[in-house]
Structure 1
Amino acid sequence: MTTLEAGTIVGAGLDRVDAPLKVTGAAQYPNDFSFPGMAHAALVGSTIAAGRMRGIDVTDALAAPGVLTVITHLTAPKLERGPMTLLGGSPPAPLQDDRVLHYGQHIAIVVAESSEQARHAARLVRVEYEATEAVLDVDDPRAEIVENPWGLDTERGDVNAGFAQSDVVVEGTYTTPDNTNNPLGLMTTIASWHGDALTVHDSTQWPHNVRTSLATIFKVPESGIRVLAPFVGGGFGAGLRVWSHVILTVLAAREVKRPVKLVLTRPEMFTSVGHRPNSVQQIKIGSTRDGDLVAIEHHGISSVAMEDDDYEPVSVGSAVSYACPNVLTVDRQARLNIPCPGSMRAPAEGQGSFALESAIDEVAYAVGMDPLEIRLRNYAEENPVLGLPWSSKALRECYLEGAERFGWSRRTPEPGSMRDGRWLVGYGLAGVSYPFYQVPCQARASVRRDGSAYVRSAATDIGTGTYTVMTQLAAELLGLDVTQVRFDLGDSDMPYSPQAGGSGLTGALANAVHAACRRLVQEFLDVVRDDTESPLRAAALDDVAVTDGRIHRITDPEQGESYVDILARHGLEELSADGRSTPPRSEELGMAIAGAFGAKFVEVRIDPDLGLLRVARVVSAIDGGRILNEKTATSQIVGGTVGGISQAMFEETATDQGTGRIANATFGDYLMPVNADVPDMDTLFVGGPDRATAVGTKGVGEIGLVGLAAAIGNAVFHATGRRIRSLPITIDQLML
């Protein structure tokens, strides 16, 4: 059976198949569902960051109109903590004792007939606290330091000897603040019990994780839980964990024996569904006068909640980015009285690349070399840690083709030497990568009597285009038009799928769909194996191709027949097949499995009198392996680029150091770029399919953000001669 080499559907910039539902308002998000007898819930958050609740009075709340129940730690049952997941441990179970570990912690849930009644009653809950001094800064000596829990620190060579041999040594401290995931759709959970069976509509990026976690927490069979998330209003990582509001909604529904709906408010989004943890990074790089890197030492410390296990090793990218003989990377965490962090687009690399790529730029200036040339000079042809060739790597082409598209050759090397009227002009770049991530996945494919195909898996589409690219892939593999294929997702009753995150879903799911479709064609061949009427009698899978709904012999396309004819002749309504993908392993393939690579080129303009910073244009050259849909892939890079601009210039979750309260937890106060802040953006894809998997994708969801902050900071230095080592870059830092 032919695969994708000669395909015409995969790769095409097909419009999103789910677009008509979304633009007409027919797509149903969790917040759109309603059920007979449904009650509504509201949360009560703590107003201190550390201490205990000496008392909690719910009398007035219970007496308020429409209130059905108020659940606190005094009335909540014992709940198990959720299981260990692919992304680490589950957050602590809510309402288990009187301790307060962060401001805004959920300390009660109110259930009423309407959401307005529930919110009103929540304000009537009275709490007496015994506050203690909160630990809110990673530099606080009281903070417990957590050693690298996943064993991801790396060391090769001898960095001390390397620095002693270096002609130039550059070192500095780089800091990144907390950022908060702010998908447009407010996170929503609806829970409904039917005896021991449970149905949940949830704004999740991972339905199977919600099902498994709730089964553990509530000690009910996993087979009796169904989690639905066919449409999710964005995520950026906020929907990867089973947060306490989900658990509390399920608990409330069991308590009142009615369906219960909970919609987080925007301020609650800042304390309930994770955030990018802040980081303090010390980086030191040694080089020869000719620009050959000799040693890299990268230490990072990030914040984590008091009883959480979220982990983002911000330094590990430094171990594989360049051909440097002596490298040491070390990551630690400081436990603080903060809400649980979680993944936010390009976790770890979003922070770590700012430090590494800024420092590489500093080295280039220190040795008098073009920042592009120093990256090419220290290009890692093989994985420096494994010593194996990459399964694919077109980063060199990203540098060269991106530079040509951007016009890098027009750059004059001296900082402050380029102007346009009153504006200082700066060019900056960053080399970027995002590590390979793929886990097992399953899919099921069917062809029906009318010749249409139905393919499904319990994945989610958070706006990335999963519906569309899987429709394209299945159509290509089954020889059908895209209008004949329906792809469904977002239902935990479907075959297992991992989360939409880490740039890993497309690869895992695509390879599962690939396996299912090949197996389905094999099922048709099995049906006609001994069929004397079939021109495909005794045909092997590798001897046939599929075109226009027909299976035919490769050597003679006339020798074949349609799915419809086979099903009709054998009295079958449909045939189905399951497929699964298994992650490739470097040791088995003899090559280092590659994630995505890229190069980011940025032009900035700065008003030296006012300190105004404007990003004028961005060119992103990306090696994402096989691109299944150029339009949706480009959209991912553009969206990630906007996120990178936001990280570099706008976003900072501001925590009041006196109280632990997040001081800017609204869209009116939390800065993000608007249309006027988004420049001309150009995206080009280079390279080809990755050799490690059948489909050859590498993912583009995260790579769009990585390195933008460094590229902007590097451009700022070129424009002004001022090196910015702390994000976000603000007006006060640029007043010259």
Structure 2
Amino acid sequence: MTTLETRRVVGAGIDRVDAPLKVTGTAHYPNDFSYPGMVHAALVGSTVAAGRIRGIDASEAQSAPGVLTVITHLTAPRLERGPMTLLGPSPPAPMQDDRILHYGQHIAIVVADTPEQARHAASLVRVEYDPAEAVLDVDDPRAQIVENPWGLDTERGDVAAGFAQADVVVEGTYTTPDNTNNPLGLMATIASWHGDSLTVHDSTQWPHNVRTTLATVFQVPESGVRVLAPFVGGGFGAGLRVWSHVILTALAAREVKHPVKLVLTRPQMFTSVGHRPNSVQRIKVGVTREGDLVAIEHYGMSSVAMEDDDYEPVSFGSAVAYDCPNVLTQDRQARLNIPCPGSMRAPAEGQGNFALECAIDEAAYAIGMDPLEFRLRNYAEEHPLLGLPWSSKALRECYREGAERFGWSRRDPEVGSMRDGRWLVGYGVAGVSYPFYQVPCQARASLRRDGSAYVRSAATDIGTGTYTVMTQLAAELLGLDVGRVRFDLGDSDMPYSPQAGGSGLTGALANAVHTACRNLVREFLDVVRDDEASPLRGAAPDDVTVTDGRLHRVGTPEQGESYTDILARHGLEELSADGRSTPPRAEEIGMATSGAFGAKFVEVRVDPGLGLLRVARVVSAIDGGRILNEKTATSQIVGGTVGGISQAMFEETATDAGTGRIANATFGDYLMPVNADVPDMEVIFCGGPDRATAVGTKGVGEVGLVGVAAAIGNAIHHATGRRLRALPFTIDQLL
């Protein structure tokens, strides 16, 4: 069937279809919903990082005005731990014993008639602790070390022999701090029980995971749990796991037999919904004087909570980034008394790329080679681990077009040679990749007698444009105007969808929508297969195409009829069809499935007297496969780049070494870039559709952030001669 070759709706940079709802304030986020008889909850957090609760007195809180109940570990029922998920094990069930594993741990939930009453009563809960000395540093010898749980350590060739033949070896230790996701919208949950049936509104990036987890935790049928998230106020990964506040809200609603709403405070967002774990990375690179990489060794150590299993292989990207015969990557984790980490935009690659691309840059300088030329010389034409051709890879084009747009040829190679008045000027580059990620997904498409289409799947749109690009794709596949297509998401009663994360949703969902729309056309052809009145009688799917709401034979537009005519003649109100996608496997398609690639070019200005750092320009050249909407895709890269600038220059979740308390858990203290910190940015898309899937997308949600910190660090070195290895880059490092 040639539906993908009909009128071009996909690719056009149309405005977001959900924009009118958002700008008029009529888009309903979880916090906007209400139920008759709804009451409110507030959480009590631990004020120590380790130890046990010696005693907890909730009597004063319980007798406060409006309070319905106070639940602690002494009164909470036994709860099952959530299931294994695509992203690993669920976090531990809350309030199951008296142990304290991190500062801010939820140790009580208070339910009252109003949010103010609940917050006040929460302040009246008295707790006595038997504190223990907390383990808060990955270098603490008391920290339990966790071996690589997913088997992602890699080794090829003979690394020791590779370093022996190297003319130059560079090595260093790179550190990245904890970062906190901090979406603007505070995360909220509403839970309402009707017998064993549960309805939940939640700030989640994965409704089906919330449904499965709550059914497991409360031992109720999954079919009786419905999770709604039509709009989510950002996430950046914070909504990928089912956190304890969601479970506690459902527990409280069951106890008081009222719908319950819980909205986290900003400080609680720092201890309740994950964070990017810190890392200490030792990297070593061997190179010949001709510029050939001969060995890479990359060790990563990152933090994990005491009883959690979140895992980020920060070194793994080094195994596949370059054509190098001898590579060793290894990751370990140190168990600390910290809140559970979780994914934050560009997990693992956001940290690992910083170390790798700075080390690659240092190796280029060590042999006197242009850093861009060095990267191109060691370009991996095939997947280094699998030995297979990439399903697509336009990184070489990204380097070439990005360099031209940026003006890399104007770079003076001598360190510290470029100036603008008192400012030292530096140019930096970083190669970028983000791994392929797709999992099974389902969608359903319907065409109604009025000629409109309704397509749906239980995905979420966290601001990435899912509503819009799926509307465009369905419109193109069905030959309809965009205004005749409605795409819905955010409801676990809809067909299964994976999470909005890992840059994998667009690919998985697009392929499911593609199949659903193809099957819907097949349903129409089945209806008219023996219809003597239809010019499409006996037509097979490959015989037809769709244009302007009409099915017609390929090459003969007059031999066709509209969807509405077929439905009306056969007395049907609508036809529906389901579609599902399954991820391609390298061994089946004979290619290595490719994630997104890119190149980041950055110009910085450094005032050597004051230690001031300014990012002046950023050019991002991105291979994102087939771009479904250039406007929203560009927005994703711009937003990711701002996040990368933030990671490089501002963000650090500061934990007090003595108490485990997060010392900067407000927007007044946690630094992020403002408009004046964001420079001119250009985005170029290179390459074309990926060959591994029908739609050909690769996802651009993460790749915009990757490489920004490294490119800024490399530009700082070009400007000043300083090689900075600790994020964020601060004034004291530049003085």
8 Å contact 2:6–2:479 — kept in the other structure? no
SS in 2 for 1:388: coil
Question: How many pairs were matched up?
Answer: 735
Matched, 1:200 2:186: no
After superposition, residues 492-531 of structure 1 pair within 5 angstroms as: 492-531=492-531
Residue type of the partner of 1:458? A
Secondary structure in 2 matching 1:119: helix
Deviation, 1:7, is 4.4
Residue number in structure 2 paired with 1:679: 679
On the 8 A contact 2:3/2:478 being kept in 1, the answer is: no
1:160 aligns with 2:154: no
Offset of residue 557 of structure 1 = 1.2
| Partner AA of 1:305 in structure 2 | A
2:648 is the counterpart of 1:652: no
Shift of 1:34: 1.0
- Is the CA contact 2:3–2:546 (under 8 Å) kept in the aligned structure 1? no
Equivalence for 1:338: 338
Residues 240 and 343 in structure 2, CA contact (< 8 A), matched pair in contact too: yes
The letter of the residue matching 1:154 is T
**What SS class does the counterpart of residue 108 from structure 2 fall into?**
strand
Matched AA of 2:528? V
Cα deviation code 1:405-430 (max 9, x no counterpart): 00000000111100001110000000
- For 1:678 and 1:542, how far apart are their aligned partners in 2? 50
CA distance in 1, matches of 2:662, 2:390: 43
Conservation of the 8 A alpha-carbon contact between 2:6 and 2:476? no
Which residue does 1:99 correspond to in 2? 99
Partner of 2:19: 19
CA distance in 2, matches of 1:106, 1:714: 42
Check if 1:71 corresponds to 2:65.
Answer: no
Query: C-alpha separation between the residues in 1 aligned to 2:429 and 2:669?
Result: 30
Name 1:377's counterpart in structure 2.
377
Other-structure match for 2:56: 56
User: What is the match of residue 387 of structure 1?
Assistant: 387
* Structure 2: segments with no counterpart, 5+ residues: none
> Helix, strand or coil for the counterpart of 1:400?
helix
- The residue type paired with residue 246 of structure 1 is V
One-letter code aligned to 2:376: L
Q: Structure 1: how far apart are the matches of 2:334 and 2:494?
A: 40
SS of aligned partner of 2:13: coil
> Secondary structure of the residue that 1:164 maps to in structure 2?
helix
Q: What secondary structure is seen at the aligned counterpart in 2 of 1:248?
A: helix
Please report how far the alpha carbon of residue 597 of structure 1 lies from its aligned counterpart in structure 2 after TM superposition.
0.1
State the one-letter code of the partner of 1:558.
E
Asked if residue 710 in structure 1 is aligned to residue 706 in structure 2, the reply is: no
Paired residue type of 2:326: N
2:136–2:338: 8 Å Cα contact kept in structure 1?
yes
Deviation at 1:494, TM superposition (A): 0.1
CA distance in 2, matches of 1:558, 1:624: 38
Deviation at 1:6, TM superposition (A): 5.2
Task: Report the Cα distance in structure 1 between the residues aligned to 2:405 and 2:4, rounded to whole angstroms.
Answer: 29
Q: Which amino acid aligns with 1:332?
A: R
d(CA) in 1 for partners of 2:5 and 2:399? Answer: 26
Question: Which AA in structure 2 matches 1:350?
Answer: G
Aligned-partner Cα distance in 2 for 1:43–1:301: 32
Residue number in structure 2 paired with 1:188: 188
1:413 paired residue number: 413
**Cα distance in 2 between the residues matched to 1:28 and 1:582:** 32
The answer to whether residue 699 in structure 2 is matched with residue 699 in structure 1 is yes
Partner of 1:124: 124
* Aligned counterparts of 1:712 and 1:31: Cα–Cα separation in 2: 38
Return 467-476 or 1-10, whichever deviates more: 1-10
- For 1:338-364, what per-residue CA distance to the aligned partner results, in whole angstroms no more than 9, with x for missing partners? 000000000000000000000000000
Deviations 1:110-133 (A, max 9, x none): 000000000000000000000000
Aligned match of 1:582: 582
SS of the equivalent of 1:4 reads: helix
Match of 2:462, SS state, is coil
Q: CA deviation at 1:456?
A: 0.1
Contact 2:406 2:619 in 1 (8 A): yes
TM-fit CA distance, 1:4? 2.5
After TM superposition, give the deviation of residue 594 of structure 1 in Å.
Answer: 0.2
Q: TM-score, normalised by structure 2?
A: 1.00
Tell me which amino acid in the other structure corresponds to 1:607: D
- Alignment partner, residue 359 of structure 2: 359
Shift of 1:638: 0.2
Q: Does 1:487 align with 2:484?
A: no
Q: Are the equivalent residues in 1 in contact too, given 2:649–2:730 (CA < 8 A)?
A: yes
Aligned twin of 2:458? 458
SS at match of 1:558: strand
Query: Which amino acid in structure 2 is aligned with residue 523 of structure 1?
Result: E
Q: Hey, what's the Cα distance between the residues in 2 that align with 1:646 and 1:47?
A: 29
2:46–2:103 CA contact under 8 A, matched in 1 = yes
What residue number does 2:616 align with? 616
Q: Structure 2 CA distance, aligned partners of 1:65 and 1:158? A: 70
Q: Which amino acid in 1 is paired with 2:55?
A: G
2:125 equivalent to 1:143: no
- For structure 1, the residue ranges without an aligned partner over 5 or more in a row are none
Q: Distance in 2 between matches of 1:582 and 1:370?
A: 42
Secondary structure, counterpart of 1:564 in structure 2: helix
C-alpha distance in 1 between matches for 2:360 and 2:3: 42
Q: Which residue of structure 2 aligns with residue 275 of structure 1?
A: 275
Residue 307 of structure 1 aligns to a residue in which SS?
coil
For 2:588 and 2:196, locate their aligned partners in 1 and report how far apart those are by CA, in whole Å. Answer: 44
Distance 2:545 2:427 in 1: 50
CA distance in 2, matches of 1:41, 1:389: 54
Deviates more, 1:2-11 or 1:505-514: 2-11
Distance in structure 2 (CA, Å) of the matches to 1:375 and 1:428: 13
| Local SS of the residue matching 2:84 | coil
